[in-house]
Amino acid sequence: MVSMSLMMDSSIDSIVTDPPYGLSFMGKKWDYDVPSVQLWEEALRVLKPGGFLLSFFGTRTYHRGVINIEDAGFEIRDQLQWLYGSGFPKNKNIGGGYGTALKPGNEPIVLARKPLSTKSVESNFAEFGTGALNIDASRIPFANDADLQSAAWGRGTDIRKGNYVGSTQSSGKTNIDANPLGRWPSNVIHDGSDEVVTLFPYSKSGKPQGMKKGGVFNAYGKYGSVPVTGYGDEGSAARFFYCAKPSKAERELGCEELAAKRYSHDGRETLIDNAYQRNGSVSGNHHPTVKPISLMRYLIKLVTPAGGTVLDPFAGSGTTLIAALAEGFNCIGIERDAEYVPIAKARCQSV
């Protein structure tokens, strides 16, 4: 918070961060609580009017984190879900098939916005470049031409033959072409792992495309032909959501010359004697909560205007900063734990 107090008002375009979850993770002092209202008030001050905040939280303490953000003056706009297959249950086996925990498979992300300083989003965007999401830059790419064709949807213009005051001839246009840039971004993101993808239904073929004679009545008259459209292809429904695949090599990016340290796969300093954690790992980047770079690149593009500056007040091992640099944005990172600063610097210098 001290570092943010030195920054100018309304100087930041977006904030994308992964703060403490308030779980006393690994017994670390930095994770004793979620960020305070006072910290988010400073974040609000340095953010431009209409600027967005994206912040991860844990499933157990999301409510506490978001309340503090809202109490600081932010508008809560949405919640995104990051779905992943690498979680491991921190369970206590009490016998008889009973335990105390579920396998973690998601992390919620709050989407909040600093209130506009003008009367409309359009005027705020014209003045500050903030207030609106970058939809086209965040669209979900189509897998192939068949996937693109499947995204056409069936509500053309003037498709009713009857209307409120009389009748009108249908234009005959049954489908509206999909945007070639991709599907509209969703508030669900996944890591492409088998554990996650198998949760989505697999569709083979689709409903017929074209016109269907309607016999539907309502208070205003009878509808004529109505469109029926379907996918017309096959594949997992996971393709409708952005996939941010983690790379096994990215954790060590730039850290090859740093002193290696053993850490457990869930961040515990004392390894638990089970098959998952028995050996742990040795890494120059021993930060316990490293996010995939592709995930952070996607989130940054969604909320940051072209040429904008991204702030991460909890920089950790620097993943947000790496992602911002890779996308051509300016970035500022703040990290109070001296143990992780060399890791963040080394990783950023490798970009």
| Residue of 42, 99, 107, 46 lying closest to 68 (CA atoms) | 42
Burial class (CB in 10 A: 0-12, 13-18, 19+), 324: buried
Taking the C-alpha atoms of residue 50 and residue 335, their distance in angstroms, rounded to an integer, is: 25
Cα three-residue angle 39-40-42, rounded to 5 degrees: 70
The stretch 146-168 carries a mean pLDDT of 59
Who contacts 98 (Cβ-Cβ below 8 Å, separation ≥6)?
none
Q: Does domain 2-140+243-253+288-349 have CATH number 3.40.50.150?
A: yes
pLDDT at 146: 84
Give the pLDDT confidence of 50-74 residue by residue, as tens digits.
999 999 999 999 999 999 999 999 9
pLDDT band at residue 41 under the 50/70/90 scheme = very high
| Residue of 202, 193, 267, 186 lying closest to 236 (CA atoms) | 202
The stretch 257-266 carries a mean pLDDT of 53
pLDDT band at residue 258 under the 50/70/90 scheme = low
Unique residue bearing structure tokens 């017994």:
27
| Highest-pLDDT range among 105-114, 162-171, 278-287, 342-351 | 105-114
The stretch 140-155 carries a mean pLDDT of 80
Residue 92 has pLDDT above 60, yes or no: yes
Domain boundaries, the chain: 2-140+243-253+288-349, 143-185+205-237
Quote the percentage of the chain above a pLDDT of 70: 69
Give SS3 for 67. Answer: helix
The DSSP output letter for 293 is H
The stretch 278-303 carries a mean pLDDT of 74
Average pLDDT, the chain: 79
pLDDT band at residue 162 under the 50/70/90 scheme = very low
Residue 232 has pLDDT above 50, yes or no: no
- The interaxial angle of helices 293-303 and 319-326, nearest 10 deg, is 60
